[in-house]
Amino acid sequence: MKIESFIRTIPDYPKKGIQFRDVSTLFQDPRGFRMAIDMLLHPYAGQPIDKVAALEARGFILGGAIAHQLSVGFVPIRKQGKLPGETWEEDYSLEYGEATMEMHTDGLEAGERVLLVDDLIATGGTCEAGIKLIKRANAELVGCAFIIDLPELGGKKLIESLGVEVHTLCEFEGE
């Protein structure tokens, strides 16, 4: 069974013309969820990974499961103002404006090998901010893993242009 068969499409959400790729149906199915976690980890089998970092919010579901599977720590990268304590901030571009992602300054140690995960890569702005935060900690980024790539939006190409390996499980055309 293909991973795409577990993902539903919701037309015109959050606005007209958008085909929203909803992974909640994948998460609800025990076989599909397990398959996604295994497939996300497959390219990194045998590589030393010290921490899994994940982007808010659906990335946390994947990141927690992957960190558990690897028996390593988990580092959340959240929208501005959501993390207590001292954080680093990184701005990124949205379709209309900017936003900020944050990570705890003590979330990673220099030299740690980190896998960055999220459910979907679109324009790559959020992922790029996450990469910059990981690099600010002087940690080593092993790669980025996503369930879905929206190739028309160019995020995967953007991240690869930064010299970072990107692993995705499936693609959907459109926004």
CATH number at residue 94: 3.40.50.2020
Known catalytic membership, residue 95: yes
Q: Which of 86, 95, 98, 173 is catalytic?
A: 95
Residue 32 phi, psi dihedral angles, 5° rounding: -65, -45
> Of 84, 131, 80, which Cα lies nearest the Cα of 108?
131
Asked whether residue 120 is assigned to any structural domain, the reply reads yes
Give the mean model confidence (pLDDT) for residues 124-143.
98
Known catalytic membership, residue 78: no
Asked whether residue 11 is assigned to any structural domain, the reply reads no
Angstrom CA distances, 109 to 34, 69, 75, 90, 165, stand at: 29, 21, 11, 18, 21
Q: What's the pLDDT tens digit per position in 139-161?
A: 999 999 999 999 999 999 999 99
Q: Which of 21, 56, 58, 102 is catalytic?
A: 58
pTM to 2 decimals?
0.96
Q: What's the pLDDT tens digit per position in 69-110?
A: 999 999 999 999 999 999 999 999 876 789 999 999 999 999
* Burial class for 96, CB neighbours closer than 10 Å (0-12, 13-18, 19+): exposed
pLDDT at 97: 80
Asked whether residue 162 is assigned to any structural domain, the reply reads yes
pLDDT at 96: 72
pLDDT at 59: 98
Asked whether residue 166 is assigned to any structural domain, the reply reads yes
Give yes or no for residue 118 having a pLDDT over 80: yes
Q: What's the pLDDT tens digit per position in 3-51?
A: 999 999 999 999 999 999 999 999 999 999 999 999 999 999 999 999 9
Asked whether residue 31 is assigned to any structural domain, the reply reads no
Give yes or no for residue 165 having a pLDDT over 70: yes
At residue 22's C-alpha, the angle toward residues 16 and 27, to 5°, is: 165
d(CA 128, CA 101): 10
Asked whether residue 147 is assigned to any structural domain, the reply reads yes
For residue 160, give its domain range: 45-171
- DSSP state letters, 117-154: EEEEESSSHHHHHHHHHHHHTTPEEEEEEEEEE-GGG-
d(CA 153, CA 62): 22
pLDDT at 173: 87
Asked whether residue 29 is assigned to any structural domain, the reply reads no
Asked whether residue 34 is assigned to any structural domain, the reply reads no
> Of 170, 166, 147, which Cα lies nearest the Cα of 65?
147
Quote the number of domains for the chain: 1
pLDDT at 175: 60
